[in-house]
Amino acid sequence: MSLTLPTFIATSVVRGSQQGESHGGIFTVDFENRTGEQHVDWNTSEIDFRGRGADRGLRGIAIDTEDILVAASDELYCYDREFNIQASCRNRYLKHCHEICRQDRVIFLSSTGFDSLLAFDLEKKAFVWGFHLMKLRDGWSGHTFDPRTDAGPRPINQFHINNVHVDNTGIYFSGLNIPAMLHLNSRNEVSEVCSLPLVTHNARPFRDGVLFNDTASDALRYVGRDFRSQAFRIGTYPQSQITFSNIDDSKIARQGFGRGLCLVDERFVAGGSSPSTITLYDLEANQAVATVNLSMDIRNAIHGLELWPHGG
């Protein structure tokens, strides 16, 4: 039986780019033909150049019927299927946004710069809910706030919340400095679902366990409740093929940096890495199926990753 490989929509960030250079963009990546096409080149004079990569490039992606929702650092954009901007919305409590997730008619966003989660109502076209995470001596806590007011939290990035996943069991989120995947229930109670290594991205419930990018270990990993696990080492390239490899700050970018994850079904999952590469993994066969590279610029890293509904 032949297998038709999927097409993805992806965003990238260019972590060490300077003013006047590209800061990433939006791509469709066709695994059937092993090709990628760039639709948006993100370059704006409003980008904040202070700090390492924080405001550069486009981030999380969510699909809503004919609309494509894409987050920048402090703004949520709505594109049509031809990649024309239809609308955008900012909020004072959205800063250094990373991943986003749609559940029904609501977009949930990770606001890294405020240690918070935000919710954007697609019908009201407004940010309507916020949750600020706090660490107590004996566990986790937090409080909700109305992002339409000035009563929200002050800017703080202690936990570096970089991911949010929502389903009918609640809100799951994680961050670089959180040693667990956390769960927020309808009573605004925070609990630990499972432990995680530090420096992870894209953690989400999967099967009876957790699937995530173990970024510090350059691996995409699944761990079940019975502690059975699978790990896929993220591929790298010969150094001679890498461009901009002589940048001064080694923390700006490195090969094998795993970020971006998209579940195709119970068998296949795609993961992103730098330089901008997407790899499709077969969990049943325990192997990589195919890889598509979009750039050999070491500064250029995949960020958001979702299935492209239009196919090829």
More confident residue, 241 or 50: 241
**Contact 81/40 with Cβ under 8 angstroms?**
no
pTM above 0.85, yes or no: yes
251-303 pLDDT, tens per residue?
556 899 999 999 999 999 999 999 999 999 999 999 999 999 999 998 889 99
On the question of pLDDT at 54 being above 50, the answer is: no
**Is residue 235 very low, low, confident or very high in pLDDT (cuts 50, 70, 90)?**
very high
Question: How large is the average pLDDT for residues 51-65?
Answer: 75
199-215 pLDDT, tens per residue?
999 999 999 999 999 99
Domains, the chain, in order of start with CATH, read 8-27+43-266+279-307 (2.130.10)
- What pLDDT, on the 0 to 100 scale, is given for residue 16? 56
Mean pLDDT of the chain: 90
122-151 pLDDT, tens per residue?
999 999 999 999 999 889 999 999 999 999
Tokens of 290: 């195919």
- What pLDDT, on the 0 to 100 scale, is given for residue 251? 52
- What pLDDT, on the 0 to 100 scale, is given for residue 227? 79
The per-residue b/e assignment along 77-101, b for 16 or more CB within 10 angstroms, e otherwise, is bbbeeeeeeeeeeebebbbbbbbbb
On the question of pLDDT at 312 being above 50, the answer is: no
For residue 73, give the amino acid letter: S
Q: At CA 52, angle to CA 48 and CA 54, rounded to 5? A: 50
- What pLDDT, on the 0 to 100 scale, is given for residue 24? 80
Please tell me the number of Cα atoms within 13 Å of 188 on its side-chain side. 13
Rounded Cα distance, 205 and 278, in Å: 21
Over pLDDT 70: what percentage of the chain? 89
- What pLDDT, on the 0 to 100 scale, is given for residue 22? 58
- What pLDDT, on the 0 to 100 scale, is given for residue 248? 47
**Contact 62/309 with Cβ under 8 angstroms?**
no
